[in-house]
Amino acid sequence: MFSFNLKEQDEISLWPLPQKFQSSAVAFKLSPASFQIVHAKQSSAGPSCGLLENAFRRYELYRLETFSQLVYEDYYGVNNINKTDISDFPRFAHRGILLDSSRHFLPLKVILANLEAMAMNKFNVFHWHIVDDQSFPYMSRTFPELSQKGAYHPFTHVYTPSDVKMVIEFARMRGIRVIPEFDTPGHTESWGNGQLDLLTPCYSGSSPSGTFGPVNPILNSSYDFMTQFFKEISTVFPDAYIHLGGDEVDFRCWESNPDIQKFMAQQGFGTDYSKLESFYIQRLLDIVAATKKGYMVWQEVFDNGVKLKDDTVVEVWMGNKMEEELQNVTRAGFTTILSAPWYLDYISYGQDWQHYYKVEPLSFPGTDAQKKLVIGGEACLWGEYVDATNLTPRLWPRASAVAERLWSDKSVTDVGNAYNRLVQHRCRMVKRGIPAEPLFVGHCRQEYKGL
């Protein structure tokens, strides 16, 4: 039995691995009655920092994450901690998880549980892909019909203003930013249910087919709508950034529509519909810039040559030519985040976490200045095959591999060592009520108690 305890107290079970630490064999016993965390004399934060006070409270005895991971229970159930010096900081500033609440509605409870798991893994950005073609669960005060007609169900499958507030606050208390994504002009089918004339009517021959395509970029009403809509979004979500999407615009509907064709001719776009897409995005970006928010976009917006504000963040998601894209985006001077190698909705048999772990985000050819523009990455769990029933075990601990890649030093690449720590870390998540799936055969001292 003791070998197990020794393993559990081993410093290597920290996750993600701190930048520097020095553990010793000197063990202290922790008494729940007398133990407390206090502010250091030289600390600039104090009891007036509510966020930190709340974090202290939340961790009860095991208060702050790294600290909590140092505590181990011995054979007699006594909590111990070894004398340890740690100096730590993240390698990348942006460490995100993308969840998709449109393909399937994600009940609040699932989102909050995953924010908890994110905090345990030192992720600090929740990229909330909140709406898409399939459903529009965001309840807008300005345009209530968007969710009334675009959600899977207008009452049970929506995020009310207070739900959204709760997510933001729950995240904030854990040091997590919430960046909402409202993807346009594609991926917007569900918007059309509640907003007349927003989408392009597709034609079959000379008459409308009854189906709709991307946002209609030739109507002023589209831009009036976006102006009002993003004015609301910019106040509801406090983060300095909004993700505007811009990916995978299907041109076929635009091509079929005679009014669009006429507009293309007037503008001198020829038959290059990416110019029309850029025309739309350009106006959208101006609208959002006017709200004083920064914006993030998927890589196509950059690829299509849209003029972007200097502080735009370009998200590289396409797996093919990833290094070339990173080179191009950073050469153009744009801040970049990487999600291409970390599409965790793709599953396969075995330990695929190792593939995520082995990625080196800065392996592309480029100058130091270019490398500095890569501020982090995101693990994306798209929702086609994921809902409340399977999201959490599918995401964790696979996303933990990404967490360490984005937090720890570049030199931390030993997969065997990572395996041993991650096995412990996943049991720690299980112990705290997160149904993180196993890496391989074995057991946790405390198995998952839910179903």
84: three-class secondary structure by DSSP: strand
Which range in 66-74, 99-107, 233-241, 289-297 contacts its own copies by CB under 8 A? Answer: 99-107
Binding to its own copies by residue 145, rule CB under 8 A?
A: no
Distance in angstroms (rounded) separating the CA atoms of residues 111 and 168: 11
Is there binding between residue 392 and its own copies (CB under 8 A)?
Answer: yes
Q: Which is nearer to its own copies, 10 or 437 (CB)?
A: 437
Per CB under 8 A, does 170 bind its own copies? no
Q: Does 441 sit near its own copies (CB under 8 A)?
A: yes
Helix axes of 398-407 and 415-431: crossing angle, nearest 10 degrees: 120
- With respect to its own copies, which residue has the nearer C-beta, 375 or 388? 388
C-alpha to C-alpha distance for 337 and 435, rounded to whole angstroms: 28
Could you give the string, one character per residue 346-375, with x where binding to its own copies holds by CB under 8 A and - elsewhere?
A: xxxxx-------------------------
Task: Figure out which of the listed residues 68, 107, 255, 362 binds its own copies, where binding follows CB under 8 A.
Answer: 107
Q: Which is nearer to its own copies, 117 or 329 (CB)?
A: 117
Q: Choose, by CB under 8 A, the member of 41, 141, 292, 443 that binds its own copies.
A: 443
Residue closer to its own copies, measured from CB, 82 or 160: 160
Task: Report, in Å, the least distance between residue 128 CB and its own copies.
Answer: 18
Q: Does residue 120 touch its own copies according to CB under 8 A?
A: no
Report the nearest approach of its own copies to the CB of residue 420 (Å).
17
Stretch that binds its own copies, among 138-146, 278-286, 325-333, 435-443 (CB under 8 A): 435-443
CA-to-CA dists, residue 393 to 267, 403, 429, 449, angstroms: 50, 16, 11, 14
Q: Which of 60, 248, 323, 324 is catalytic?
A: 248
* Nearer of residues 88 and 163 to its own copies, judged by Cβ: 163
| Residue choice 224, 311, 384, 414 for contact with its own copies (CB under 8 A) | 384
* Residues 6+ away with beta carbon under 8 Å from 213: 199, 200, 201, 202, 250, 252, 253, 254, 257
Distances 59 to 52, 67, 109 between C-alpha atoms, Å: 11, 10, 19
Cβ-proximal residues to 139 (8 Å cutoff; 6+ apart), any chain: 146, 147, 151, 158, 159, 160, 161, 163
Q: Any catalytic annotation for residue 248?
A: yes
Positive or negative, the CA dihedral 344, 346, 349, 355 is negative
* CA atoms of 197 and 404, how far apart (whole Å): 46
As to burial, measured by CB atoms within 10 angstroms (0-12 exposed, 13-18 middle, 19+ buried), residue 359 is: middle
**Environment class of residue 382 by beta-carbon count within 10 Å: exposed (0-12), middle (13-18) or buried (19+)?**
middle
Summarize as ranges the residues that interact with its own copies (CB under 8 A).
103-105, 107, 109-110, 113, 134-135, 152-153, 156-157, 345-350, 383-390, 392-394, 430, 433, 435-443, 445-451
Which residues are part of the catalytic machinery? 248
